[in-house]
Amino acid sequence: MSDDSFLGLEEPPQPQKPEAYRVLARKYRPQTFSELIGQDAMVTTLGNAIRRDRLAHAFLLTGVRGVGKTSTARLIAKALNCIGPDGQGGPTIDPCGVCEPCRAIAEGRHIDVIEMDAASHTGIDDVREIIEASRYSAVSARYKIYIIDEVHMLSKAAFNGLLKTLEEPPAHVKFLFATTEVNKVPVTVLSRCQRFDLRRIPADKLAAHFARVCDAEGVEAEPEALMLVARAAEGSARDGLSILDQAIAHAGIEGDMVRAEAVRAMLGLSDRGAIRDLFGLLLAGDAPGALNALRGQYDLGVDPQAVLRTLLETVHATTLIKLGTEANPAQSVEEVKALERWAAGLSFPMLHRLWQLILRGHDEVARAVLPIEAAEMALLRVVHASQLPDPGDLARQIASGSISVNVTGAPAAPPAAGEAPAASAAPEGAVAGLPRDLAELAEFLETNRRYQLAEQVRHLLRPIRFEGTEVEFSSSRPLPQDFVRELSAALREITGINWKLLTGSDTGGQTLREREADLANAERDAVLRSPLVAAAMQAFPDAELLGWSKTGT
């Protein structure tokens, strides 16, 4: 027995420290390309490039947050430096994960794989260090790899300093860039990289991935709860795993199941069953019931904008069902039945009208000082519109004569000064086939390919007198210097007759363009007075009648 032990001075055994908890987003970061979800096209391209030894010297990975840009960069580094379990392997799309390079890269300690965050290393000095270090061969790996995250944050000087090395790097160097804002990367850099656009991950693939994570964690979760998490992630695996982490914690420490109701409450989402009820009330024109349903969701803590967003999703899903597309497998049986019922009863114009009304309400709520009040007014507008007859049905009834429409037509414009009425005969002495007024003169010039002169006649000339080949006119604004001479020469060349063109001092009538504008405005007013259009304008105060500008042109 030692003296220390005899004296009782021996150090007591220390309790083993529990391993620190790793969040799901880090714990389940993909370690192989087969674990990278939703990016099959990129994996196929990379695999072919590696097998054919056609590797680019620089890769640019772009996409929204959380789709796997940095993880993909590390996987590429492993794929290029893997030596296999026996140490004799070469670059492969399926890195072994057990050799020293694979393990060191996965743990972030490989000396030849350098990661840099451009957000905190933006200057030319940081890039100069990379340029200097890239001249030296890799210490222990096949390739020296530089992974620069959020590369768009580099300064202009840093990008310029990197260009030459990026275009002609040493054979042992590879650059891997990742960015969420590829539009901020200079074109000179883009042209030197092989670009991969990582896609948003579909919600069904995310939900399946989250189910596997829950199994690995020993957590039970309802499929609907996982689908809610997947939808809230908006295509980002990292965001989804963070939300799932929160949902598991929200479920309690007793191993409770992750339930859809709890996830919905945690995220402040509206209950889809309640939204279906609200949508039904809107279609039925039940304004008090719709407002009570909205207030019920609001009292539960649901954001009014989230209610309108879910209503938009409902309109969109109904439209897809009406088009004949297959139902989303993530939708419940009750939801599918409701969508099929609405699709059968609503026309496409009505669905488009609902979409526009709810979308407008959604935007108004986003900007409103009083969001819940703005949401109520938006729903009342939808209720009012749902009670209006379908424009297509009204048009058919008008066409069939079951509804009489008294539309006051546009008044016929009187002939302008110096112009012959439409039904009048040609003036005495006029040559057959010659134009009899400014309108016919403009068409005559166009027919004979004098397009510029024709446009000048329409826009500039105010008629005073038009008798045979003698024309007197004034102008709405100063005429081009050689206009009269060029017009006279053109008419003489076309007709073989000398025309007498006079510029008078009288005001004259309207130009052809002014007359056309007045006629178009009169037609527009007549259309607006029709019952069908008047009803539509009353229902949609901000609507515009397309096909006419304010001037009628």
Beta strand spans in 426-469 (E): 461-467
- Residue 215 CA neighbour count, 13 Å, CB half: 7
Sign, Cα dihedral of 42, 202, 240, 255: negative
How far apart are the C-alpha atoms of 438 and 453, rounded to whole Å? 12
Strands 500-503 and 58-62 come out as unpaired
CATH code 2.40.50 for 438-509: no
Please calculate the CA angle 415-421-424 and round it to the nearest 5 degrees: 165
259-268 residue pLDDT tens? 887 887 777 6
AA identity, residue 300? L
Percent of the chain residues past pLDDT 90, beyond the cut:
14
How far apart are the C-alpha atoms of 71 and 237, rounded to whole Å? 11
Which of 81, 99, 94 minimizes the C-alpha distance to 139? 81
Mean of the per-residue pLDDT values for the chain?
81
Tokens of 84: 């296999």
Structural class in CATH, domain 203-267: mainly alpha
Three-state secondary structure string covering 81-112: HCCCCCCCCCCCCCCCCCCHHHHHHHCCCCCC
The burial of 37, by beta-carbon neighbours within 10 Å (0-12 exposed, 13-18 middle, 19 or more buried), is given as middle
CATH for the 272-387 domain, from 2.10.10.90, 1.10.3210.10, 3.10.105.10, 1.20.272.10: 1.20.272.10
| 2 has a pLDDT exceeding 60 | no
Contacting residues for 126 by C-beta, under 8 A, at least 6 apart: 116, 158
How far apart are the C-alpha atoms of 56 and 164, rounded to whole Å? 16
| 527 has a pLDDT exceeding 60 | yes
pLDDT at residue 134, as a whole number: 87
Question: Residues 358-370: what's their mean pLDDT?
Answer: 91
How far apart are the C-alpha atoms of 301 and 376, rounded to whole Å? 16
| 531 has a pLDDT exceeding 90 | no
Global pTM value? 0.57
Q: Angle formed by the axes of helices 237-250 and 223-233, to 10°?
A: 140
Beta strand spans in 118-264 (E): 144-149, 173-179, 194-197
28-63 residue pLDDT tens? 888 888 888 888 888 888 888 888 888 888 999 998
Which of 211, 233, 232 minimizes the C-alpha distance to 221? 211
pLDDT-based confidence at 373, cuts 50/70/90? Answer: very high
Mapped onto helix, strand or coil, the DSSP state of residue 234 is coil
pLDDT at residue 120, as a whole number: 86
Q: Domain segments of the chain: what residues? A: 24-197, 203-267, 272-387, 438-509
Contacting residues for 194 by C-beta, under 8 A, at least 6 apart: 56, 58, 59, 60
Q: What are the CA-CA distances from residue 87 to residues 81, 84, 129, 411, 470 (Å)?
A: 11, 5, 31, 93, 101
Which of 199, 175, 219, 213 minimizes the C-alpha distance to 77? 175
Q: What are the CA-CA distances from residue 172 to residues 136, 141, 276 (Å)?
A: 9, 9, 60
188-211 residue pLDDT tens? 999 989 899 888 888 888 889 999
| 459 has a pLDDT exceeding 60 | yes
CATH for the 24-197 domain, from 3.40.50.2300, 3.40.50.300, 3.40.50.720, 3.40.1160.10: 3.40.50.300
Element (H, E) at 500: strand 500-503
Mapped onto helix, strand or coil, the DSSP state of residue 509 is coil
pLDDT at residue 386, as a whole number: 67
413-440 residue pLDDT tens? 444 444 444 434 444 444 557 888 888 8
| 253 has a pLDDT exceeding 60 | no
The burial of 222, by beta-carbon neighbours within 10 Å (0-12 exposed, 13-18 middle, 19 or more buried), is given as middle
AA identity, residue 216? A
Q: Angle formed by the axes of helices 371-386 and 348-367, to 10°?
A: 160
